[in-house]
Amino acid sequence: MLTLVGCIRGIVLELDGNARYVNAWADDPALLARPPAEMIGRSIEDVLGPSGAQFTAMVLRVFRTGEVEHLEYPLELEGGRRWFFADIKRVGAAESGFTVVFFARDITERKAIEEALARSEERYRLALQATNDVLWDWDLVHDTLSWNVAVTTMLGYTEPGRVGAWWKECIHPDDRSGVIERISHALASDARAWSDSYRFRCADGGYGDFVDRGFIMRDASGRAIRMVGSMTDVTKINRLQAQLLQADRLVALGTLAAGIGHEINNPLSYVIGNIDSSLQLLDDRSNELRELLDEALEGAKRIAETVKSLKDFTRTEGSEARLLDVQQVLGAAIKMADKEIRHRARLVYAFERLPRVRGNESQLAQMFLNLLLNAVQSMPIGRARAHEVRVSTRVVDGSHVVISIEDTGAGLSPDDLSRVFDPFFTTKEARAGAGLGLSICHRIVQQHGGTIAVTSEPGAGSRFTVRLPASAQLLAAGLPRVLVIDDEAAIGRVVTRQFGGRAEVISLMSAREGLTRLSSDEHFDLVLCDLMMPEMTGIELYEELRQVNPGVLGRMFFMTGGAFTANAQTFLDTIATGCLNKPLAREELFALLPLRS
């Protein structure tokens, strides 16, 4: 036997029916627990100690049953760990007697390959789990498709199609022919890769935007036989890019609006103020002239409202919250949406007298406009007589202002209703909106301490109800004295006429002269100051007063025609009062006056 094993690499052991060594051999003596001469005639446990009990049981079992057993085990040697695989079998005959032969082969190299392969497979498995992409493998010869788990977690398909036709069918109809044409060209040519962008239908019926990339494998003749690739969901990225583009447009519009407002509002103040004052001077015999002036005043006010609406809807959101007339903000939003409304529905509204609300005017205006456009876009163009947009306001429990915007449009299904405030959710076509309008409304209402709710039925329209906390406006007592500081004298004259006999108005054309008057003991109940003036600006005057007469700052309001710097906007955001937009409205000025005691 030793002659036979001399040409074998590994370990050969021969044991009798009592698990005693009969022969022991190894191509490397270090593989044996002891030299062969010290092993012959000894039992396994004599040689290996207690750790040999399992080996003893195995040898006795093979000797008794005659069945072959196998064992894989490591040995810690000076050169490192080595792995062995052993066959344990009974040999001989009953007449001459049986022995058990243990033959172990070195499998260290094979074991290393297996472990490396297992690690590679584990990394691949983890990569498949970690990626957000939908991975696919397309056997072009047999037309079979396989997918990773993302086809379920991302697209919602529990049983995705396994043929190329299913994938093609899920491509948006408007994109399908172009995608098929381009991938067919890539497969027919010698291309090694293909990529495309298209909309793909998910399991819920909605479409997402995807970028698809695939690598093409070919046989020796150049025929495409397999494609492996990934679909990346870029829906949110595309919609965010659309929002950024819209934001850039709004910035440009805001810059334009500010410039236009500054150039229009100052002269418009003279026009409106003087027409208004002229009307007060007319007697009852001048009916024809009164009618002409009324029409001129109405036209001038419409110009002022248009400029104000542009400024309101392009103002930065960082402006400070103040007491607002909700119906004025809502009215501005209605004017902005008027063109869209008139082609789709009749506008019906019912406004109750409301307390004021503390809030950010531009944010509330954006919220109302979004709700109005959402209502309008649920109805078709050209059927204005058949549809309505109903806007109403009321007070609830004396503590909340409630605004309802209702339409008679398509309505929402129960499933859509539950997701209506989710970012990027939309029932419109992909090009009709990014699905952010209602989620922005929800955020704005929450920031104002309110709630927003929706009720809807398919085919019966929707109603959005906004509930905002009311705030009572408190006015100081005392006889009003008003100081107007503006480098254009006409502004002072107009303010004087608008207040009439309700206040004593002192008009100055210099901020430095205003500083002198306000630094003295002279008392003013209201200070109206132009924001941007030569020599000393309103901001510089405010900072000087902070040192010499800080008590007047709570009664100081700024006036602006609309154009001012980013630093000026930052300043306005930090002061406790606020800013009035020219042309100045009579009602707005009266609201600033304290009550007479």
Q: Is residue 474 part of a domain?
A: no
349 in the same domain as 232:
no
- For residue 74, give Cα distances in angstroms to 80, 246, 392: 10, 67, 83
Residue 394 inside a domain? The answer is yes
Mean pLDDT confidence for 210-239: 91
Look at residue 165 and tell me whether its pLDDT is greater than 90.
yes
CB atoms within 10 A of CB 281: 8
Range of 182-191, 376-385, 391-400 with top mean pLDDT: 182-191
Instruction: Give me the pLDDT at residue 310, please.
Output: 60
- Do 256 and 245 meet the contact criterion of CB atoms below 8 Å apart? no
Higher pLDDT, 177 or 478: 177
Per the structure, the complete domain to which residue 264 belongs is given by 132-317
Report the DSSP pairing between strands 526-530 and 556-560. parallel
pLDDT of residue 446: 84
Question: Which pLDDT score, from 0 to 100, does residue 596 have?
Answer: 42
Domain boundary residue, one of 317, 342, 377:
317
> Tokens 């109302």 label which residue?
368
The two three-digit tokens of residue 595, written as one number: 């009550």
CA distance 476 to 481: 12
* Whether residue 274 sits in one domain with residue 143: yes
**Any idea of the CA torsion for 250, 255, 260, 262, to the nearest 10 degrees?**
130
Encode pLDDT of 494-507 as tens digits. 888 888 777 888 88
- Predicted confidence (pLDDT) per residue in 322-333, tens digit: 788 788 788 878
pLDDT at 124: 64
Determine contact, residues 102/11, Cβ cutoff 8 Å.
yes
- The percent of residues above 90 in pLDDT, for the chain, comes to 30
Whose CA is closest to 370, among 302, 444, 320, 307? 444
Q: Is position 118 within any domain? A: no
Helix (H) or strand (E) holding 514: helix 511-519
The pair of structure tokens assigned to 471 is: 């705030």
pLDDT at residue 101 is higher than 90? yes
- Position 125 scores a pLDDT of 66
Q: Which of these three, 269, 297, 317, is where a domain ends?
A: 317
Q: Is residue 117 part of a domain?
A: no
- 456 DSSP β-pair partners: 462
Q: Judge whether 575 lies within some domain.
A: yes
211: confidence class by pLDDT, cuts 50, 70, 90: very high
Nearest by Cα to 424 from 238, 201, 170, 198:
238
pLDDT digits (tens, 9 = 90+) for 409-454: 888 887 777 777 776 666 665 444 445 667 778 888 888 888 888 8
More confident residue, 39 or 265: 39
Examine the domain organization and report whether 220 and 277 are in the same domain: yes
Q: Does 131 or 440 have the greater pLDDT score?
A: 440
Does 289 have pLDDT greater than 90?
no
Residues 81 and 74 sit within 8 Å (Cβ to Cβ) = yes
pLDDT at residue number 393: 86
Contact 485, 530 (CB under 8 A): yes
- 505-514 CB contacts, 8 Å cutoff, 24+ apart: 506/481, 506/482, 508/483, 508/484, 509/485, 510/485, 510/535, 510/536, 511/485, 511/535, 511/536, 511/537, 511/538, 511/540, 511/541, 512/536, 513/485, 514/483, 514/485, 514/541
Helix or strand run (H / E) with residue 406: strand 400-407
Among the ranges given (57-61, 81-85, 560-564), the one the predictor scored with the smallest mean pLDDT: 560-564
Q: What is the CATH number of the domain that holds 341?
A: 3.30.565.10
pLDDT of 126 reads 65
Query: Which residues, in sequence order, are CB contacts of 552 under 8 Å at separation 6+?
Result: 518, 524, 527, 545
**Are residues 274 and 313 in contact, defined by beta-carbon separation less than 8 angstroms?**
no
Q: Which of 444, 494, 434 is CA-nearest to residue 466?
A: 444
Arithmetic mean of pLDDT, 60-69: 94
Same domain, 291 and 158: yes
Torsion of CA 137, 141, 143, 145, to 10 degrees: -10
pLDDT category at 477 given cuts 50, 70, 90 is very low
Same domain, 402 and 489: no
Q: Which of 469, 501, 534 is the last residue of a domain?
A: 469
Say yes or no: 211 and 312 in one domain. Answer: yes
What is the pLDDT at residue 138? 94
For residues 149 and 290, membership in a common domain is answered with yes
Categorize the per-residue pLDDT at 257 as very low, low, confident or very high, splitting at 50, 70 and 90: low
The confidence score (pLDDT) of residue 1 equals 47
CA–CA separation, 346 vs 18, rounded Å?
Answer: 105
Number of domains in the chain: 4
Is 476 contained in some domain?
A: no
Q: With 70 as the cut, is the pLDDT of residue 312 above it?
A: no
More confident residue, 569 or 142: 142
- pLDDT tens sequence across 7-57: 456 899 999 999 999 999 988 888 888 999 999 999 999 998 888 898 999
* pLDDT band, residue 136 (cuts 50/70/90): very high
With contact defined as beta carbons under 8 Å apart, do 21 and 39 qualify? yes
**218 pLDDT more than 90:** yes
Q: For position 29, which CATH number holds?
A: 3.30.450.20
Identity at 412, one-letter amino acid code = L
Q: Which residue has the higher pLDDT, 428 or 83?
A: 83
The model's confidence at residue 362, banded by pLDDT at 50, 70 and 90, is confident
Q: What is the pLDDT of residue 563?
A: 65
User: Are 155 and 205 members of one domain?
Assistant: yes
Hey, which of 129-133, 287-291, 361-365 has the most confident mean pLDDT?
A: 361-365
pLDDT, averaged across the chain: 82
Q: Strand ranges (DSSP E) for 408-515?
A: 451-457, 461-469, 481-485, 504-508
* 507: CATH: 3.40.50.2300
Contact between 334 and 391 under an 8 Å Cβ cutoff? The reply is yes
For residues 338 and 209, membership in a common domain is answered with: no
Residues 345 and 442 in one domain: yes
Are 12 and 107 contained in the same domain?
yes
DSSP 478: S
Q: What is the pLDDT of residue 131?
A: 66
Q: What are phi and psi of 209, to 5 degrees?
A: -90, 130
**For 300, which DSSP code?**
H
Q: What's the whole-number mean pLDDT along residues 180-189?
A: 94
What's the pLDDT at 243?
64
Question: Does the residue 353 lie in any domain?
Answer: yes
Strand, helix or coil for residue 147: strand
Question: pLDDT tier at 490 (50, 70, 90 boundaries)?
Answer: confident
For residue 556, the SS3 value is strand
Q: Are 557 and 589 in contact (CB under 8 A)?
A: no
Sequence-distant (6+) residues with CB within 8 A of 533 are 485, 486, 487, 510, 511
Same domain, 278 and 375: no
Q: Residue 118 CB: number of other CB atoms within 10 A?
A: 10
Angle at 196 between CA 195 and CA 201, to 5 degrees: 130
In a domain, 573, yes or no: yes
- Name the CA dihedral angle for 146, 148, 152, 156, rounded to a multiple of 10 degrees: -70
Whole-prediction pTM: 0.39
